[in-house]
Amino acid sequence: MPRPPDPGALERLKSAVGAGGWLEAPADIEPFLRDFRGLYRGASPLVLLPGGVDEVARVLAICNHEDIAVVPHGGNTGYCGAATPDESGTQIVLSLRRLNRIRRLDAANNSLIIEAGSTLAAAQAAARAAQRLFPLSLGSEGSAQIGGNLSTNAGGTAVLRYGMMRDLVLGLEVVLADGRVMSRLKSLRKDNAGYDVKSLFVGAEGTLGVITAASLKLFPLPTDSATALVGVKSPRHALRLFEHLRAAVGDLITSFELMPRRAVELTVRHIAGVANPLADAAPWYVLVEISSAADQGLPAQLASQLAAAGEAGAIDEAIIATSLAQAAAMWKLRESVPEAQRHHGASLKHDVSVPISAVPELIERGAELVRRLVPEGETLAYGHMGDGNLHFNVSRTGPDSPAFQARRESLQEAIFDLVGELGGSFSAEHGIGRLKAAELARRADPVELSVMRALKRALDPKGIMNPGKVLA
Ligand code: 2HG
Ligand code: ZN
């Protein structure tokens, strides 16, 4: 069991990272104590900012020896509180932000070795500079860090085509809880040398070790693409459109995002520079993008497929972006929905996934649950329909209130039960962190949970790595 660090241990930790590698003044450490959503406010005696993997290794060796709990910290954009220390004031925060070098880009091998504290945007830019694509794409990519993307197994808007972060990893460098460094940074598509150990650290949210660098997969840079905003009558119509496009253009679909009218209205109202390019207010909207690394006349293809979908009654209206700026404006409309929801008022959030065929049923039955259990709320279910991941959120106009928050548990229980019934997951792309740790303990398959606990004991026998997260 971790215990409070004594002054001597704190001094040893500071000298392990050297001058400029630690913070302890209350004003300096404040930003590390709050999570992005403001759900948690922790305390910590020390924030460490190691400058290299050797320093991370020294820090963990000391913490393991002294039984000091460590909370790895990336860009602090997570939704489940995984990067925030608890309230005890005994946990050390380990920020990876100084590990931000690009170690190697091999264009011929389509791979990039990059350190964990680099932002996702920096990884994308490095790939682009070499005429390659690193496809993970999220609203917070300017501040989210690669280590956090890996540790939460981040998803985003291109999962349908390229997969989640786990699918984009070729190798990892990880510092284990006892300070040993696992250097498994090979950039191979085929490597069957034993168990897939690196995969354990993806989605582990810093509970098994600290990821310090990764070898990531790159792809050809798309040179042809088409983006459209489509108005549809219902999620069932959106599903018909999806099936139509899948049959017509197959794997060229990169993104297929669903939004209700209310989400579009709130975004136009609250976010400067956002407009709805469609003439009529549709009940639901789909943002679809198709792309290819070979010139295939995609705008014309998308136009003719949308026309066919219109004739078949799947869609009501559509506009295809005629410039990169117009496509970017459509993306801004979609990516600003969470911020618009924040401006609008309090919200109850559920990051869930179901098979795409069950998305309409989830929305219909979920909205019914909201009407029954949260009469003062309104459903705002939007997200990555193409991969079955919805942010089934409930908004309340105006400030938060104890009455609204008091509905949280019963609604969450009902939504997660519904998701389970539909063969889905109560945690799709935002992770478990502290927020959903109790749910995982209740909802995971008991045998799978016992395997997770056995892995935790094996890799972190003293329980110093991010205690209270994932496995409560
Ligand atoms: C998105 O898809 C993000 O925009 C955030 O995952 C979702 O705020 C949310 O609920
Ligand atoms: Zn999302």
* Fold held by 224-338: Alpha-Beta Plaits (3.30.70)
Q: How close is the Cα of 156 to the center of ligand 2, in Å?
A: 5
What's the token pair of residue 445? 């398959």
Q: List pocket residues of ligand 1, CB cut-off 6 Å.
A: 139, 337-338, 349, 383, 391, 393
> pLDDT tens, position by position, for the chain (472 residues)?
899 999 999 999 999 999 999 999 999 999 999 999 999 999 999 999 999 999 999 999 999 999 999 999 999 999 999 999 999 999 999 999 999 999 999 999 999 999 999 999 999 999 999 999 999 999 999 999 999 999 999 999 999 999 999 999 999 999 999 999 999 999 999 999 999 999 999 999 999 999 999 999 999 999 999 999 999 999 999 999 999 999 999 999 999 999 999 999 999 999 999 999 998 899 999 999 999 999 999 999 999 999 999 999 999 999 999 999 999 999 999 999 999 999 999 999 999 999 999 999 999 999 999 999 999 899 999 999 999 999 999 998 767 888 888 999 999 999 999 999 999 999 999 999 999 999 999 999 999 999 999 999 999 999 999 999 999 8
CA of 138 to the centre of ligand 1 (A): 9
Bridge partner list, 73:
95
Q: Which of 384, 232, 246, 258 is nearest to 314 (CA)?
A: 232
Distance of CA 358 to the CA centre of its chain: 22
Measured CA to CA in angstroms, residue 5 lies from 11, 48, 121, 395 at distances of 10, 14, 36, 42
Inter-axis angle of helices 337-344 and 261-270, nearest 10: 80
Cα(257) to centroid(ligand 1), Å: 11
Measured from the Cα of 347, ligand 1's closest atom is 10
Ligand nearest to the CA of 140: 1
Which alpha helices (H) appear in 374-461, and where do they start and end? 402-406, 408-421, 437-443, 446-459
Q: Closest ligand 1 atom, CA of 337? A: 4
Looking at the domain 345-430, which fold is it?
A: Alpha-Beta Plaits (3.30.70)
CA dihedral 415, 420, 422, 425 (to 10 degrees): 90
* Domain residue limits, the chain: 102-220, 224-338, 345-430
Query: Which residues are registered as beta bridge partners of 284?
Result: 232, 260
CA of 337 to the centre of ligand 2 (A): 10
**Ligand 1 atom, smallest distance to 389 CA:** 2
Q: Specify whether the backbone of 364 is left (phi greater than 0), alpha (psi in -120 to 50) or beta.
A: alpha
Cα of 214 vs centre of ligand 1, distance in Å, is 25
Q: Could you tell me the pTM of the whole model?
A: 0.97
Substitution candidate for ligand 1 out of 136, 337, 341, 392 with most atoms within 8 A of CB: 337
Q: Which atom of ligand 1 is nearest to the CA of 349?
A: 10
Distance of CA 262 to the CA centre of its chain: 23
CA of 79 to the centre of ligand 1 (A): 9
| Dihedral (Cα; 49, 52, 57, 58), 10-degree rounding | -70
Domains 102-220 and 224-338 share a fold: no
CATH code matching the domain that covers 102-220, chosen among 3.30.70.120, 3.30.200.210, 3.30.465.10, 3.20.20.100: 3.30.465.10
